[in-house]
Amino acid sequence: MARVLRIDPDGTVTATLDDSLLKAANREFDGRAGILTCAAPFLHEHSAGTWVLAVHDEGWLLDMPVNRKAWALYGRSPLVGVAFLALDGSTTQPMMPGAVPDIIRQDLTNWPIPTASLEAMDRILSEGV
């Protein structure tokens, strides 16, 4: 079971030992973490809580690579660099349901998201962001 997952731009997903999303993100991003609410409906099937991502506030300025998994979880504009996923909590994150890390570790094409979403991501990337 995990509280916080690290999602790398290459698709690698690892559980951190942290109990706090901000602790993990601020250590990685030198205090420049931005928190975003996830829109991926399949996450809400596993928990009624709010799912959040932490990303580097200046990732675009630092020319970090696109993180397709984080982008798919966010469900809006492209995200770059390392991202951290957790259920929202006040000071510590609750444990994630066991199925969520297993889903996130799968290839993005196996996620329960519409194919049209993946095609739109590809189109945006090919046209340049």
Does 14 map to a domain?
yes
- The reply to whether 96 falls in a domain is no
The number of folded domains in the chain is 1
Range of the domain at 48: 4-90+101-127
- Determine the Cα–Cα distance for residues 40 and 50; give it in Å rounded to an integer: 11
pLDDT digits (tens, 9 = 90+) for 113-125: 888 888 888 898 8
**pTM of this prediction?**
0.91
pLDDT band at residue 46 under the 50/70/90 scheme: confident
| Token pair recorded at residue 66 | 């696109």
The DSSP call for residue 109 is G
Average pLDDT over residues 59-86: 93
Within a domain: 70: yes
Report yes or no on 95 lying in a domain: no
